[in-house]
Each structure stands twice: as structure tokens, then as C-alpha cells.
Structure 1
Amino acid sequence: MRTAILVDGGFYRRRAQSRLGEKTAEERADELNKYCRRHLYHHGKQVANLYRIFYYDCLPMDKKVYHPLLQRQIDFSQSDLRTWMYAFIEQLKKKRKFAIRLGKLADEQAQFLLREDITRKLCRSALQVTDLKEQDFLLDVSQKGVDMKIGLDIASLAYKQQVDQIVLISGDSDFVPAAKLARREGIDFILDPLYNPIKPDLFEHIDGLRTCDPHFNPNWSEKESTE
């Protein structure tokens, strides 16, 4: 069975950072490569051959954005994230069977917003404006082109019958139309949400749900695994 693995990069990076901790660009690239290839195995036995791993992401912006609390411009061209991301993408390019698909950020609309939980606290007077801290804000900037590239690749793989199975690592429901198309073409479509909750009605649009590492499960612990 030929398997293509599609990775929503922004989703994977956030989930991995949260559940597996901070890592260098090289370590995270090695981690992702090994994780994707685990989808080719079941109970220690290889059941599929890798066609290609498609990685979708956006490089960080290099513009300045005004921070309302600090009351100054933040220069993202000098950020640690930008340096890390460029190194990370370069590491992925060196990996066998990896195809990099880069979209763009809508950085002209980028702005700092209060986190949702902080806004709720302010509204019920549990927090005062004078209590706000820098970490209470998040940068709001959307991606352009990533979802479209994922959808186009799914359609191309399905119509050309290049693979028998598609594994999509994502927590987004925007993939549903493409998944339905792939299934109509006879493709086995597997979703890997890395234990991120998904809507119950999404199950009718996929052939299976699988996450290969229990560390992504917020309810899993090392203690439980050894008992």
C-alpha cells in the first residue's frame, strides 16, 4: 500500500511544543520525520510504503507590529522564532521523501490581541487593565494558501491514483471537501489530530482516526504506561 502523509505544519509545531516540549530545529525535524514514518507500521510490522511526506507551513513575517501594552513596535525580523523556523525548514529539506509547501502570512493584517481567557477576566472585573502583562497578548496573523495547497495535493493524489492511502496530520475541519473527494476515488483517508478533539460528525468523512504517539494525549502519563 502506497501512503502519502500530509502535515499541517503550524498545527504540528504548536501541538509538539505543547506536549513534547521545546526542541532545537534539528531535533524537531528529526522528531517529525520519525513520527510520520510510524504511520507505516502497525504492531511493529510495516504495512505500507511511503510515497512522500508533504509539509505545509508559512515562514514567520519580518515586519514590525505595534504592541498596545508595551506601546512600541515589535520587530519580528529579529525574532528567535524567525531564526528557528528558517533552520527548521532547511532541516526538513534535507530529509528523504519530504516535499515542502510554503504559503504566506497575511502580515498586513497582523495585530496583537488579548487572549480570550484574559478578555473574560477583564469583563467580569476579575482582572484590571493595570494588571495586564506582555504574555496576556497574542499575535493574530492568518495564513494564506496553506489550506488550498493541502486540498489541491489531496485532489491530485486521488485523481492520479498515485497513492492508496492518505494520512493527514491536522486539527482543522477545512479538509472535509477534499477528504470526501479522495474517498470517492477509492483512497483510504486517515486523520491524525494528535489527540486534539475533533467534531463527532467528522467521522463520517474519514476512514480512520489514528495518532501514533501517546505523549500527545493530555491524559497520558509515563507512570500509567509502566503500570
Structure 2
Amino acid sequence: MKVAIFVDGGFYRRRSQTVLGDIPAIERAKELEDYCHRHLHKSKGKNSNKEVELYRIFYYDCPPMEKKIYHPLLKRQVDFSKTELYTWSIAFFEELKKKRKFALRMGKLADGQAHYTLKEKVLRALCNGKTKFEDLTEQDFYISVDQKGVDMKIGIDIASLAYKKQVDQIVLISGDSDFVPAAKLARREGIDFVLDPLGAPIKPDLFEHIDGLRSCDKQYIEHFKKQQ
């Protein structure tokens, strides 16, 4: 059985950082590689003699932002090309390129509309009077910037593999419901479609569009339970 693994890179990086903590780029790349190979063992199943072959790991993301963005609290421009995140991201992508069976599919950031905005819970606290403007800190803001082309690339690649019958199973690591049309197409073509939301819940009606739901690290599942 041939298995292709699709990774929504932005989603994976956010979840792994939140649940597993900050680690060097080289270690995070190895962590992702090991995590994907856990899916191969899961696909094989217990007490099974079937052979499972990795077709490829498709990783989707955007290069880090390089431009300068005005920070309303600091009242100055922040040069993202000189941030630790920029350096870390470049090192992470370069490390993934060296990995066997990894294919990077890079989109673009809509950095023309990038801006700093308040985190939702901070904004609520301001509106409720629980926080004052003078109490705000740099950590209360986050950079808002959209990705372009990533979802489209995922959909096209899933469709291509399905139509060409190149794999028997597709594992998608993502928390985005935009995958549904691609999943439906793959299933119509006889592909076993497995979703891994890294422990996050999915909407009940999404179950009808996938063949399986699994996460390969208990830490992700336990982290969500603690948030409830």
C-alpha cells in the first residue's frame, strides 16, 4: 500500500509550538519527519502483514515575511527580515529540503495587507473594562497576514494523485475544513483518506468526507482536553 502524507505547514508549526514547545529548527524538522513515519506504522496496523510504502511527504507553507510592519504600541517599524522567526523559518525549510521523500510546495504571503492586531481575548478584556489601554504589552498583539496559494496547491496535488492512481491512501495533517472537496474527489477515486487534526476537534458533519481520523501523539489529544 502506497501512502502520501500532506502537511499544512503553518498549522503544524503553530500546533507543535503550542503543545510541544519551542525547539531549534533542525529538531522541529526531525520531529515532523518522525511524526509522519508514525502514520506509516498506523496505516500498517497491528498484526498485519501488509507492506506500507511512503510515496512522498508533501509540505505546504509560505516563505517568512521580509518587509517592515508598523507596530501601533511600539510606534515603530518592525523589520521581519531581522527577526528570530525569519531566521528560524529559513533554517527549518532548508532542513526539510534535505529530508528524503519530502517535497516542499511554497505559496506566498499576502504581506501587502499584513498588520498588527490585538489578540481576541485581549480585545474582549479591553471592551469589558478588565484591561486598560496603558496595560497593553507587545505580547498582546499578533501579526495578521494571509497565505495565498497553499490550499489550492494541496487540492491540486490531491486530485493529481487520485486521478493517476499513484497512491492507495492519503493522510492530511491539517485543521482546515477547506480540504473537503479534495477529500470527496479522492474518495470517489478509491483513495483511503485519513485526517489528522493534531488532536483538535472537527465538525461532526466532516466525518462523512473522510475514511479515518487519527493523531499519532497523545500530547496533542491531551492538550485539547485540558483546554475544555
Aligned residue in 1 for 2:108: 104
Q: Map 1:47-196; keep pairs closer than 5 Å.
A: 47-196=51-200
Write 1 or 2 for the structure with the bigger share of helix: 2
The one of 206, 209, 214 equivalent to 1:210 is 214
Aligned residue in 2 for 1:10: 10
What is the TM-score when the length of structure 2 is the normalising length? 0.94
Q: Percent identity?
A: 67
CA apart distance, 1:47: 5.0
> Which AA in structure 2 matches 1:76?
F
How far does the alpha carbon of each residue in 1:105-128 deviate from its partner, in whole angstroms, 9 at most, with x for none?
A: 000000000000011111111111
Q: Is the 8 A contact 1:214 1:220 kept in 2?
A: no
How far does the alpha carbon of each residue in 1:176-218 deviate from its partner, in whole angstroms, 9 at most, with x for none?
A: 0000000000000000000011111110000000111111123
Structure 2, unaligned runs of 5 or more = none
- 1:104/1:93 Cα in 2 relative to 1: closer, same or farther (>3 Å)? same
**Root-mean-square deviation (Å):** 1.5
- 1:27/1:124 Cα in 2 relative to 1: closer, same or farther (>3 Å)? same
Pairs aligned (count): 221
Aligned residue in 2 for 1:224: none
3-state SS, counterpart of residue 77 of structure 1: helix
Aligned residue in 2 for 1:38: 38
3-state SS, counterpart of residue 70 of structure 2: strand
3-state SS, counterpart of residue 62 of structure 1: coil
What is the TM-score when the length of structure 1 is the normalising length? 0.94
How far does the alpha carbon of each residue in 1:146-167 deviate from its partner, in whole angstroms, 9 at most, with x for none?
A: 0000000000000000000000
> Which AA in structure 2 matches 1:82?
Y
The one of 203, 207, 210 equivalent to 1:199 is 203
Could you tell me how far apart the structure 1 residues matched to 2:64 and 2:98 are? 20
